[in-house]
Structure 1
Amino acid sequence: MLHVNTHVMASSPKARLYGGMDAEERRAERRLKLIDAAVEVYGEVGYRGATVKAICEAAELTERYFYESFANSEALLIAAYSHVVGHLHEEMAAAAGAAGDDSEARLRAALTLYFTRLKQHPKPARVFLLEIAGIGPAVDAVKHDALRAFSDILVPQASDPKRGDKGSLISIGMIGAVIGIALRWVSKQYPQAIEDVVAVAASFCRVALAEADKSKLRSV
């Protein structure tokens, strides 16, 4: 008689599959659903107006799955922000890369992609521009890292540590100007054409670009 070890069968990888995914993949899928739902809810009522219940309902998940992935609402905000910004930065970097080696062309390509996405996707734009402000130290740290990455895409030379404090200040000013322009443009419901907004934003970035070029010449 053939004896089957049912314990081994129950614990085999194949037995743990459900809908073609194992337990870890299902957790990752639920986490992404919560992030996507959070972006939608934040975009409608803001972070402070959002509740765990509302986000779980939008994700079509029970609240117990929220705490499977996130310790609290702030942790979800950080994940949602990182998700939105990560995709945006990837697209901006790709647009800049496709523009070739010319610094001005790369800058305008990245800015055009940035403002285009803000207009096309207003809910993620709200997360990126508005909902991340004034929450707490952990959120501020994530935002700081994201802004540094943003600067690296627009004017990579501006982030060169060899340029010292002056370079850092110029980089901070450049990003502050671009974000400020974006905030006003989005809040006013996009009154100017994208190319006009890009032209204004690029004029501020050129200050950082010109300073970086000067530093490069001095080092030769």
Structure 2
Amino acid sequence: MASSRKARLYGGMDAEERRAERRLRLIDAAIEVYGEVGYRVATVKAICEAAELTERYFYESFANSEALLIAAYNHVVGHLHEEMIAAAAAAGDDPEARLRAALTLYFTRLKQHPKPARVFLLEISGISPAVDAVKLDALRVFSDILVPPTSDQKRGDKAGAATLLSNGMVGAVISIALRWVSKQYPQAVEDVVAIAASFCRVALTEANRRTLSS
């Protein structure tokens, strides 16, 4: 029994834990490599070298490079969304304060971590329909964090209008972020937040108007 247990454990981890650890190392390495050279130039070999793993371990976790890109994107976005949600919650119940808190966290992280920012903003675009679908799902979450939809806005004719408002709001914020990052952060975070918040405020105002008129 002891020898069987020893066979399953290595470095204090069982086989499943080791696979998960290797997968995370590949994701972290991919973010680094994508941030330096871009997804389209990055190779499996380069990512495995950065992760200090042989290429056979790549295919243990990922079917192809696109699958790793999606995993890296979801990893970056998942952490970012969690932090934005926490920042908004800490700001209290005022929608404007919550919006500014979430935006401040968002733009601060883009500046603090330029390589993940590149994955989030640049490398995910124009790859394939499957990648586009993942990006669209993430943008829906992003929109709901900035301006949470009410139950009324999710029903009937209001759902279509609310979606258009959300799409426009997210598009404005992403466009601002893209230019800001590509120009090497020329404005202070608080100035960029003020600009982005002005676009989002339109969505907030319209959402409130529709709620009051219902």
Give the counterpart of 1:194 among 186, 189, 202: 189
2:154 corresponds to which letter in structure 1? P
Give the counterpart of 2:166 among 147, 167, 171: 171
Taking only the aligned residue pairs, the percentage that are identical comes to: 82
Give the counterpart of 2:31 among 39, 53, 67: 39
**3-state DSSP of counterpart to 1:191:** coil
CA 1:133 to 1:158, structure 2 compared with 1: closer, same or farther past 3 Å?
A: farther
| Counterpart-to-counterpart distance in 2, 1:9 and 1:197 | 60
Does 2:90 align with 1:90? no
Give the counterpart of 2:127 among 123, 131, 135: 135
Instruction: State the shift of 1:161 in Å.
Output: 1.6
Instruction: State the shift of 1:166 in Å.
Output: 1.2
The runs of 5 or more residues in structure 2 that have no matched partner are: none
Equivalence for 2:175: 180
Equivalence for 2:206: 211
| Counterpart-to-counterpart distance in 2, 1:177 and 1:213 | 20
C-alpha deviations, 1:170-213, integer Å up to 9, x for none? 10000000000000000011111111100000011011111110
Does 2:14 align with 1:22? yes
Instruction: State the shift of 1:167 in Å.
Output: 1.1
Instruction: State the shift of 1:164 in Å.
Output: 1.9
Equivalence for 1:149: 141
Instruction: State the shift of 1:9 in Å.
Output: 4.6
**3-state DSSP of counterpart to 1:49:** coil
Q: How much is the aligned-residue C-alpha RMSD, in angstroms?
A: 1.2
Instruction: State the shift of 1:15 in Å.
Output: 3.7
Equivalence for 1:3: none
TM-score (norm: length of structure 2): 0.96
Rg larger for: 1
| Counterpart-to-counterpart distance in 1, 2:92 and 2:128 | 39
1:20 corresponds to which letter in structure 2? G
Query: For this pair of structures, how many residues does the alignment match?
Result: 211
TM-score (norm: length of structure 1): 0.93
| Counterpart-to-counterpart distance in 2, 1:167 and 1:97 | 22
Give the counterpart of 1:65 among 57, 68, 76: 57
1:152 corresponds to which letter in structure 2? D
| Counterpart-to-counterpart distance in 1, 2:150 and 2:185 | 29
Does 2:163 align with 1:161? no
Q: Superposed, which structure 2 residues align to 1:72-83 within 5 Å?
A: 72-83=64-75
1:116–1:194 Cα contact (<8 Å) kept: yes
Instruction: State the shift of 1:215 in Å.
Output: 1.5
Using the TM superposition, name which of 94-103 and 205-214 deviates more: 205-214
| Counterpart-to-counterpart distance in 2, 1:153 and 1:199 | 17
